Amino acid sequence: IDSLPAPFFLFDAQGRLEDANAACLRATGWDQAQPLAGPLARRNPPLPAAGTEQHRAEQPRRDGSVFTVDWSVSPVFARDGQLLSHVCIGRDVTRQRQVEDGLRENDKLRAVATLAGGIAHDFNNLLGSIVGLAELCELEAVEGSRQARNLGRIRQAGAKAAVLVRQML
């Protein structure tokens, strides 16, 4: 058991931690005496009554950090069918989970960027119409009139909005 490269726990029939291998102790930072009565004993994967089950769990380290482990948990029975113990073999999937989380985040950002680009493109088309029509109306407005000033403000606001659209694109 100590030669296994994967974390290994052995629980008795009542669910109390009986043993942890060297790989588990290295991964968690605990020594042989501590985990059997300490945090590892309180933080275990669910123990099935029959059949092997798979569980993903956050496993605590001595320093307070955690790492993600995929546990394969199997009950061990005597010949007469009595439950003797549970064997738990784990695989550290912390890095894999981080990569998966990064890919999901990247997909979210890509979706937001696509949405923002589409909105910016449509908004830019609307701005073109607004600014163009304001310029045409400004040509017909009496110079110095309130209408000409308001049309000039519309044109200026449209130019500022166009700068924001370019930034989004």
Angle at Cα 50 formed by Cα 47 and Cα 54, nearest 5°?
55
Q: What gap in Å lies between CA 131 and CA 137, rounded to an integer? A: 10
Is residue 77's pLDDT more than 90?
yes
CA distances from 48 to 13, 30, 54 (A): 11, 26, 10
H or E stretch covering 167: helix 146-168
What is the pLDDT averaged over residues 60-76?
89
Q: Is 51 left (phi over 0), alpha (psi -120 to 50) or beta?
A: left
Q: How confident is the model over 107-132, as pLDDT tens digits?
A: 999 998 888 888 888 888 889 898 89
pTM of the model: 0.57
